Amino acid sequence: MKIKISRQSVYLLSLMLVLLVLVLLFSFLVLIPEGKEYREQRMELKKENYELRRYKDYYEDTLGKLKKLQTQHRHIITALDASFNPERFQKQNKIFFKSLSISKKVQIENEDNFLVYEVNTTSSIHSPKSFYDFLDAINKGDWIIGVNFPINFKREKEMINSSFTMKIYKTPKDENLKKSDD
């Protein structure tokens, strides 16, 4: 028994066999290694997207906290930017003293990224209560002021003379000052 296969069928069968071998070679030599690399890159992209989402969430959370703190402490932020005016200070706080005098402010070195001015004051008060009222008023005032110790009180007849120094804190406007501290 002879199997009769035409020449065209043999050519077609051999061509199919060659194409099958080429497809198998292409898939094993090109597609499978590239697919493995693609999966590795896809996993790396998923990790990076996860980190990006985490950082975005952290950024948004931190930004929200910053905005909340800025609204809560707006008075302090504006007080740090306000320049100290001795005449205005005297007008605002004269109600606590019989007389209030302020000597010229002298700039001392920068402390913790703030410009610090030292002001020496002398005043005459009726009672220590008015001095404590003055301390409460400067806490709510237009400037960030620290009253330094010692606070000297001397009684003269019906009046109490007091002398003390204050530090007025201000943020530097000069960009060079900010950059030199970083």
Question: How confident is the model over 21-72, as pLDDT tens digits?
Answer: 999 998 888 888 887 888 899 999 999 999 999 999 999 999 999 999 988 8
Amino acid at 90: Q
131-176 pLDDT, tens digit per residue, is: 778 778 877 777 777 777 777 777 777 777 777 777 777 777 654 4
Contacts of residue 79, Cβ cutoff 8 Å, sequence gap at least 6: 141, 142, 143, 144
What tokens does 77 get?
């932020």
Distance CA 61, CA 55 (A): 10
Distance CA 143, CA 130 (A): 20
With vertex at residue 102, the alpha carbon angle to CA 101 and CA 108, rounded to the nearest 5 degrees, is 165
Q: What is the pTM of this model?
A: 0.49
